[in-house]
Amino acid sequence: MSDITEEDVRAEVSGWLKANWSPDYGLVEWRLKLIESGWGAPHYPKEWHGRGLPVKFNVIVDDEFSKIGAVTVCRAGIRTLAAATIIDHGSDLHKEKFLKRVLTGEDTWCQLFSEPGSGSDMAAATTRADRKGNKWVINGQKVWTTSAHKADWALLLARTDWDAPKHKGLSYFLLNMRQPGVKAQPLKQMNGHASFNQVFITDAEIEPELQVGKTGEGWKIATTTLMHERRGAGALRTWAVASKRKGKIYEEENAEIATTMEPYKWYPQRAGRVDLLLERAKATGKINDPIVRQELAKVLTLSKAAEWTAMRARAAQEMGRPQGPEGSLGKLLGSHVARAAARVHTSLDGANALLTGSDGTLEGVIAEILVSVPATSIAGGTDEIQRNIISERILQMPKDSDEFAGKPFREVPRNTVSKVS
């Protein structure tokens, strides 16, 4: 398989699609067929629904799907991070239980990392997991949890040892969100959506086999999840966009977008909608304004550079290098692109960019871009945190000093009250 070429992949996937694709399939029925063929996630291992192909071929495979409008496996949201983390660190039981249902879209996932007192400083989590009999019992509060109100399962970071130093006392679990001790309360955002939540966890239970890695390895595993998030989850992550095509499968996919995928419908806007810029510049006639043209050219150039940075990250992944700081570079660049694109949208639309809903340009899409773009600089680790990672790991600058490094966590001052026993 190592000397397989792009042409081979293109020919094979298009041949398979010609023989198998039909919009008359049910959504899960088609995705199961796709998973069986390995073309749903070609970079997954062969024994786990993939073809063991280098991730660079995903673009070719996607291209063949989009040429004929074939539906792919489910990729929106935290599910891709759950799958990537399970592939890297999960047991065979985790892979067996979860991977297929991630790809079919039957299970929805969320990421229970951030807490009221620990966002950037994620290792300061105080949600606790205590071993009682043959169960882990979870108590605490998480916040900003995207899709928690729709989720079946969660990636959970919780403290299992209060005497170990901050980063060493955490463990990683897969939490069933559909149990009485878990309560998700949506929070309204400034763009009008309510895609994330505060989550209260009271005596929720986890079977020991749903722990990922060993007790105390939570920080290492959560870092992998974040690296995947910053890299775009192995080039497979996309956001939910409804199709106008006709057929049973498109109706089911659009229903999925309107329900479980609903929290992600503003995500293309938060990335700045670079794809709309040229078209809007022509439509408004501002393409002839030299200043706007210059700004437009800058965004398109930056956006291309971001694409190439993502390709470099992918190449590193293919060479078997562990998740590295390239994800942080890409994420920071993504924030720059989003902000620059929002500025150009404003120059193109003027005051109209402020009008929402049907009064606004493109049914309010431009206004939604303006109030959604700030999220890009926060979600998945803020711009400042990416800069810290880049300065320490790439530029080899000295680390932030931490007078409590190595001290037992229970002795480290925190900005939230939490019962330590």
Ligand X SMILES: Cc1cc2nc3c(=O)[nH]c(=O)nc-3n(C[C@H](O)[C@H](O)[C@H](O)COP(=O)(O)OP(=O)(O)OC[C@H]3O[C@@H](n4cnc5c(N)ncnc54)[C@H](O)[C@@H]3O)c2cc1C
Tell which positions 232-291 bind ligand X, by CB under 6 A.
none
CB nearer to ligand X: give 54 or 119.
119
Distance CA(327)–CA(338), nearest Å, equals 16
Could you please report the per-residue DSSP string of 83-141? HHHHHHH--HHHIIIIIHHHHHT-S-EEEE--BTTBSSSGGG---EEEEETTEEEEEEE
Considering only the stretches 16-24, 158-166, 272-280, 371-379, report the one whose residues sit in contact with ligand X under the rule CB under 6 A: 371-379
Place of tokens 């994420």: 331
Q: Please identify which residue in 14, 108, 114, 303 interacts with ligand X, judged by CB under 6 A.
A: 114
User: Contact at 8 Å (CB) between 77 and 108?
Assistant: yes
Find the residue with minimal CB distance to ligand X. Answer: 119
* Residue 391 CB, nearest approach to ligand X (Å): 10
Span near ligand X by CB under 6 A; candidates 15-23, 25-33, 49-57, 107-115: 107-115
| Residues 127-166: x where in contact with ligand X by CB under 6 A, - otherwise, as a string | -----------------xxx--------------------
Among 300, 354, 378, 412, binds ligand X (CB under 6 A): 378
Q: Shortest gap between Cβ of 193 and ligand X (angstroms)?
A: 9
Exactly one of 48, 65, 113, 172 binds ligand X (CB under 6 A); which one? Answer: 113
Residue with tokens 């930056």: 302
DSSP string for residues in 150-202? T-SEEEEEEE--SSSBGGGSEEEEEEESSSTTEEEEEE--TTS---EEEEEEE
Rule CB under 6 A: say whether 379 interacts with ligand X. yes
User: Per-residue x/- mask for ligand X, residues 189 to 208, rule CB under 6 A?
Assistant: -------x------------
Dihedral pair phi/psi, residue 273, rounded to 5°: 50, 55
For position 126 contacting ligand X by CB under 6 A, the verdict is: no
User: In whole angstroms, how close is the CB of 337 to ligand X at the nearest point?
Assistant: 17
Amino acid at 256: E
| DSSP assigned state of 408 | B
For residue 289, the SS3 value is coil
Alpha-carbon span 176 to 185, nearest angstrom: 16
Residue 209 as a binder of ligand X (CB under 6 A): the answer is: no
Q: Interface with ligand X includes 408 (CB under 6 A)?
A: no
Which helix (H) or strand (E) segment is 143 a member of?
strand 135-146
> How far apart are alpha carbons 400 and 384 in whole angstroms?
13
CA distance 147 to 151: 6
Determine how many CB atoms are found less than 10 A away from the CB of residue 385: 19
Q: Which of 382, 391, 408, 412 binds ligand X (CB under 6 A)?
A: 382
Task: Report which secondary-structure segment, H or E, holds 384.
Answer: helix 383-389
Q: Cα–Cα distance between 353 and 366 in angstroms, integer? A: 6
145 vs 224, which CB is nearer to ligand X?
145
Q: Which of 20, 198, 284, 388 binds ligand X (CB under 6 A)?
A: 388
How many residues touch ligand X (CB under 6 A)?
A: 19
Q: Which stretch binds ligand X (CB under 6 A): 42-50, 177-185, 378-386, 390-398?
A: 378-386
| Closer Cβ to ligand X, 111 or 254, answer by number | 111
- Interacting positions 12-51 with ligand X (CB under 6 A): none
Token pair for 37: 């063929």
Residue count of the chain = 421
**Contact between 96 and ligand X per CB under 6 A:** no
Three-state secondary-structure class, residue 144: strand
Q: How far is the CB of 173 from ligand X (least distance, A)?
A: 14
Q: Under the criterion CB under 6 A, does residue 120 sit at the interface with ligand X?
A: yes
The DSSP code sequence of 203-216 is EEEE-GGGEESSTT
Note whether 72 binds ligand X by CB under 6 A: no
**Nearest-approach distance from CB 9 to ligand X, in angstroms:** 33
**Which part of the chain contacts ligand X (CB under 6 A), choosing from 66-74, 96-104, 114-122, 133-141?**
114-122
* Distance of closest approach, residue 158 Cβ to ligand X, in angstroms: 12
- Judged by the rule CB under 6 A, the positions of this chain that interact with ligand X are 110-111, 113-114, 119-120, 144-146, 196, 375, 378-379, 381-382, 384-385, 388, 400
